[in-house]
Amino acid sequence: MSEPLIEIKDLRVEFNVREGIVKAVDGFNLTINRGETVGVIGESGCGKSVTARAILNMVPKPGKVTSGEILYYRRSKENPSDGQSRTTDVLDLTKLDPDGETIRQVRGGEIGMIFQEPMSSLTPVYSVGTLINEAVSLHRLSPVKRVGAQITETIQTHRRVTKAEGRQIAIEMLRKVGIPKPNERVDSYPHQLSGGQRQRVMIAIALSCEPVMLIADEPTTALDVSIEAQILDIMRELQESSDMAILFITHNLGVVANMAHEIVVMYMGKAVERAKVQDLFYQPQHPYTRSLLQSIPKLGQKKSGERLASIAGSVPDPFHLPPGCVFHPRCPAFMPGRCDTITPQWTQVGDDHWASCLLYEEAGK
């Protein structure tokens, strides 16, 4: 039953900055199946958002996809009930013209995206002259337009509805995501909403087109836990009713534990571990994953003044990457002579469970 929807193969994205080249994504592989949720977790700056943007062919400048492919198994739109078998095209999203017709149908229509920091565009100074390449305005809230109009426009771009119907859907979506008085709030400007309300408007936009895949980059960070739970329910319902796949990027391990079927852990642009959600939390294999899990403050165990465990050292300088395994300078299981010389390979460490760590290479062979 697992039918691949997106296959990321050996993706590399580089940023050419003054001091040299940052390899933001450095040989990343991932398959996302229809109807499944893949969680992506990992160090801040490890390339999660850049990967997500690469799927939509929206890598910010001066970033470039330097190699690899992102295959999208796109079903033809024909009605499945008319007896004809459905055809599936395979599109390499990285090869599409970023301003072309096809990618515009995909973006926001077939693949919906909730961006981290939906409010960034609200500062006038930010939208002028920054280098962030916003290929389409529909993924950012425009400060000068009412939120209802912004949702309606997206709906109309991707669904055949009238303006009035679009507005009605917009109000319904705002209600679903828990905005009070949606029929009045539909006419607010973004600055009149709280951080979490703006984030929910973005969620409403992303879900209003009934996408086959939702890319959710920190979708609920600005929300209180009860609205968060409600939004996650909406996502799960949509997933069940329409077989929507979700790429769920988050730092909130509580949320990802409850949402994801499978989890990928990233470090410095690479996947370092991948497993079914239960295995990842109960049998983490990579030392980085283990350390991450240990850094979470545990609820209900407050000790005054207690310090949290964190990973020693800091992320390496991207221009002078350590040899061997890039995690070795911070790794509690560091094996001198091996980890600092040999680059670990992607190794199977259990059922559907993979890691790249020298601890497992012999065992795996």
Partner 1 sequence: MSVTNQTQSQAQPPTKNDTILLDVKGLKKYFPIQKGFLRRTVGYVKAVDDISFFVREGETLGVVGESGCGKSTAGRSIIRLYEPTAGQVSFKSQVLGSNGQTKTVNLLDLNAQEMKSVRQEISMIFQDPVNSLNPRMSVSDIIAEPMIIHGMKMGQDTEDIIVSLLERVGLRSDHLRRYPHEFSGGQRQRIGIARALSLNPSLVICDEPVSALDVSIQAQTLNLLQDLQKDFNLAYIFVAHDMSVVEHISDRVAVMYVGKIVEMAETDALFTNPLHPYTEALLSSVPKPDPLYKPHRIMMQGEVADPSNPPSGCYFHPRCRYAQDLCKEKSPEFRQIKHDHWTACHFAGELKLEGI
Q: Site for Mg ion (CB under 5 A): which residue of 62, 80, 100, 195?
A: 195
Q: Which one of 48-56, 87-95, 147-155, 326-334 is the stretch in contact with ligand ATP (CB under 6 A)?
A: 48-56
> Angle, to 10 degrees, between the axis of helix 195-208 and the axis of helix 147-158?
20
Q: Site for partner 1 (CB under 8 A): which residue of 309, 323, 343, 345?
A: 309
Residues pairing with 294 in the sheet = none
**Of 246 and 331, CB closest to Mg ion:** 246
- In the complex, the smallest distance separating the C-beta of residue 129 from partner 1, rounded to whole angstroms, is 7
- In the complex, the smallest distance separating the C-beta of residue 82 from partner 1, rounded to whole angstroms, is 40
Q: Rounded to whole angstroms, how far apart are CA atoms 290 and 293?
A: 5
Q: Beta 111-114 vs 88-92: how paired, if at all?
A: unpaired
Q: Rounded to whole angstroms, how far apart are CA atoms 299 and 60?
A: 37
Number of residues that bind partner 1 (CB under 8 A): 79
Spatial CA neighbour of 216 closest among 187, 185, 268, 251: 251
The three-class DSSP label of residue 152 is helix
If you count them, how many residues does the chain have? 365
Binding mask 102-121 for Mg ion (x = CB under 5 A): --------------x-----
Give the one entry of partner 1, Mg ion, ligand ATP, none that residue 191 binds, where binding means its C-beta sits below a cut-off of 5 to 8 angstroms depending on kind.
ligand ATP
Q: Rounded to whole angstroms, how far apart are CA atoms 362 and 267?
A: 22
Number of residues that bind ligand ATP (CB under 6 A): 22
Q: Which one of 68-76, 79-87, 192-200, 273-281 is the stretch in contact with ligand ATP (CB under 6 A)?
A: 192-200
Q: Residues of 322-349 as b/e, b for ≥16 C-beta within 10 angstroms?
A: eebbbbbebbeebeeeebeeeebebbeb
Q: Site for ligand ATP (CB under 6 A): which residue of 116, 127, 137, 283?
A: 116
Q: Site for ligand ATP (CB under 6 A): which residue of 66, 76, 162, 192?
A: 192
- The residues in 206-225 that bind ligand ATP, with binding defined as CB under 6 A, are 222
CA 179 to chain centre: 24
> What is the contact surface with Mg ion in residues (CB under 5 A)?
49, 116, 195
> What is the contact surface with ligand ATP in residues (CB under 6 A)?
15, 17, 22, 24, 44-50, 60, 63, 116, 191-197, 222
